[in-house]
């Protein structure tokens, strides 16, 4: 009698289900990994056969700004340094507060590049006591700020880019070619397919800049005991002091974000985009046509019955209203959502038969490595998990199963049960984790190579010339990788048992219809 026959029915069924799910998750992970190896090993430089006049279509870059983010000047300057004809470029800096600290910095950049059409757009009738203006269409402050840029834009192609990210010089050219030629990572998509590329986006990464604890001396100071000349303190010298421990943990937030975005997130982000089952969009850097978005919002009433997200009567009435105001006003419709990037992707997917496309480029958010703690990282991850919980509930519920430890545990249970007649196999789990960590290490450095390889690059800020990840030891990397993996499940649990999020210093509650309510 086979040992399978003596196993409980429940155990067999759960083992088969877990095995199937394990295979799916591992396949999705390594599908993204292989694509990153092939298409992100260096910065791309796409080209097409169009003549010079048709190749470069006019583009409006819109950057919403509030306050001073780390390395703000160089992030904004990257918009001026695109390998793109200056007479086909418009840059709009959207600011709410006329006294915003970023305005003098932006004025200096505009003066530095007089050949590029750039201007600052300030919201009307801003009230500093309430931190609001007449440009208020919903609870999303980013969309409220962006709206004036959409309406004022000269060109149909819009590049909406957060103020705190930096882009290399070929990204705009690559993106316009991808948008017009229906490309994803340089590959031509089928012209007979139902959907074509309507939104081009870029893999978002983060770097811990000006971090402490990366140099050898600082590592020794942080990780070794603090000795005293006083014999009375010898007994306590073997432990890390409270102040040293505080310093040790203080700078981990940026490194954890960096690790998350360069490993787990980018792997599945690239994979899901290529699978094209549904739109998967991060709003750090997106390029699409204003006319496509306007048409998508205008068509919502016609597809009301079929839409999973835009069927509520008030939603449909607002879509009608904003569509009636003219070109560019449709962006105001999305001010009701905190995750406007994902909802724009869904609108283009449902009503413009659009899909998303990557270019093989990344955009980089510099994060302060000296005052960015673990709690800051946890707060950021919890915030976006809570937003996603209402937008893509099923995907958020199964997210822990995409992480190395949980994925390894249920995969190990399935394989051990079905093929080894045991509950758990340590060597199999060790093999799973070893393969996962090696592929993450390789992927991490492939993306770092994409960042530091200045192919056709005219502008490289100081913080990118010698970035810390290049010089980190394997053990330093492994320590941060393990900490990130161990925190994944606790962060998910915290996010699931809560509804409030903090956005730019304001508390919001996400409602079941995906809209946000400011508290």
DSSP class per residue in 270-318: HHHHHHTSS----TTEEEEEHHHHHHHHHTGGGGTTT-SSS-SHHHHHH
Helix (H) or strand (E) holding 371: none
Task: Tell me how many degrees the CA angle 392-394-400 measures, rounded to the nearest 5.
Answer: 105
Task: Tell me how many degrees the CA angle 93-96-99 measures, rounded to the nearest 5.
Answer: 95
> Do 149 and 273 contact (CB within 8 A), yes or no?
no
Task: Tell me how many degrees the CA angle 280-282-286 measures, rounded to the nearest 5.
Answer: 100
Q: Work out the end-to-end distance of the chain between its first and last CA atoms, rounded to an integer number of angstroms.
A: 64
Per the listing, tokens 């056969």 go with: 49
Phi and psi angles of residue 306, each rounded to the nearest 5 degrees, phi first = -90, -15
Provide the 3-class DSSP secondary structure of residue 507. strand
> Do 104 and 302 contact (CB within 8 A), yes or no?
no
Q: Which long-range contacts (CB under 8 A, 24 or more apart) does 444-449 make?
A: 444/259, 444/262, 444/263, 444/469, 444/477, 445/469, 446/36, 446/37, 446/40, 446/41, 447/36, 447/40, 447/203, 447/205, 447/262, 447/266, 447/362, 448/262, 449/41, 449/42
* Dist CA 155 CA 144 (whole Å): 20
Tokens in use for 214? 């990366």
Residue 231: CB atoms within 10 Å = 8
If we measure between CA atoms, which residue out of 326, 363, 331 comes closest to residue 347? 331
Q: Which of 341, 361, 376, 440 is catalytic?
A: 341
Is 341 marked active-site?
Answer: yes
> Do 61 and 162 contact (CB within 8 A), yes or no?
no
Q: Which residues contact 171 (CB under 8 A, 6 or more apart)?
A: 82, 202, 285, 359, 361, 363
The residues that are catalytic are 341
């Amino acid at each position: 009698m086979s040992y399978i026959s003596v196993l409980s029915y429940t155990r067999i069924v759960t083992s088969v289900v877990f095995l199937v799910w394990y295979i799916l998750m591992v396949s999705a992970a390594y599908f993204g990994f292989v694509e990153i190896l092939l298409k992100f090993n260096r910065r791309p430089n796409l080209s097409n056969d169009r003549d010079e006049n048709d190749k470069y279509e006019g583009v409006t870059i819109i950057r919403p700004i509030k306050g001073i983010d780390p390395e703000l000047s160089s992030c904004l300057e990257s918009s001026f340094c695109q390998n793109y004809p200056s007479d086909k470029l418009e840059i709009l800096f959207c600011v709410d507060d006329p006294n915003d600290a970023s305005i003098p910095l932006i004025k200096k950049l505009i003066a530095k590049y007089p050949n590029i059409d750039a201007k600052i757009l300030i919201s009307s009738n801003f009230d500093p006591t309430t931190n609001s203006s007449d440009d208020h269409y919903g609870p999303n402050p980013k969309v409220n700020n962006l709206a004036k840029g959409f309406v004022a834009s000269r060109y149909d192609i819009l590049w909406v880019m957060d103020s705190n990210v930096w882009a290399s010089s070929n990204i705009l050219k690559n993106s316009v070619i991808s948008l017009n030629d229906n490309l994803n990572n340089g590959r031509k998509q089928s012209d007979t397919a139902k959907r074509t590329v309507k939104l081009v986006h870029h893999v978002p990464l983060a770097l811990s800049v000006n971090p402490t604890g990366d140099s050898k001396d600082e590592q020794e100071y942080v990780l070794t005991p603090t000795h005293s000349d006083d014999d009375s303190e010898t007994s306590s010298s073997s432990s890390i002091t409270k102040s040293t421990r505080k310093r040790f943990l203080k700078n981990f937030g940026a490194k954890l974000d960096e690790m998350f975005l360069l490993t787990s997130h980018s792997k599945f982000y690239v994979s899901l985009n290529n699978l094209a089952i549904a739109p998967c969009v991060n709003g750090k850097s997106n390029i699409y046509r204003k006319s496509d978005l306007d048409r998508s919002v205008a068509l919502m009433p016609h597809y009301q019955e079929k839409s999973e997200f835009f069927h509520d009567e008030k939603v449909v009435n607002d879509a009608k209203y904003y569509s009636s105001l003219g070109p560019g006003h449709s962006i105001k419709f999305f001010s009701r959502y905190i995750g406007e990037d994902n909802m724009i992707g869904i609108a283009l997917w449902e009503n413009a038969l659009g899909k998303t496309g990557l270019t093989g480029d990344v955009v980089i958010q510099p994060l302060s490595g000296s005052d960015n703690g673990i709690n800051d990282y946890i707060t950021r991850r919890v915030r976006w998990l809570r937003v996603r919980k209402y937008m893509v509930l099923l995907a958020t519920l199964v997210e822990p199963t995409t992480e190395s430890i949980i994925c390894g545990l249920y995969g190990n249970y399935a394989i051990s049960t079905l093929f080894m007649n045991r509950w758990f196999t340590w060597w199999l789990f060790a093999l799973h984790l070893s393969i996962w960590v090696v592929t993450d290490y390789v992927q991490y450095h492939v993306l770092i190579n994409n960042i530091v390889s200045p192919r056709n690059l005219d502008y490289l800020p100081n913080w990118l010339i010698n970035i810390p990840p290049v010089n980190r030891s394997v053990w330093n990397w492994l320590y941060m990788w393990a900490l990130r993996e161990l925190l994944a499940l606790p962060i998910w649990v915290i996010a699931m048992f809560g509804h409030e999020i903090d956005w730019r210093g304001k508390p919001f509650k996400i409602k079941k219809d995906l809209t946000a309510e400011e508290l």
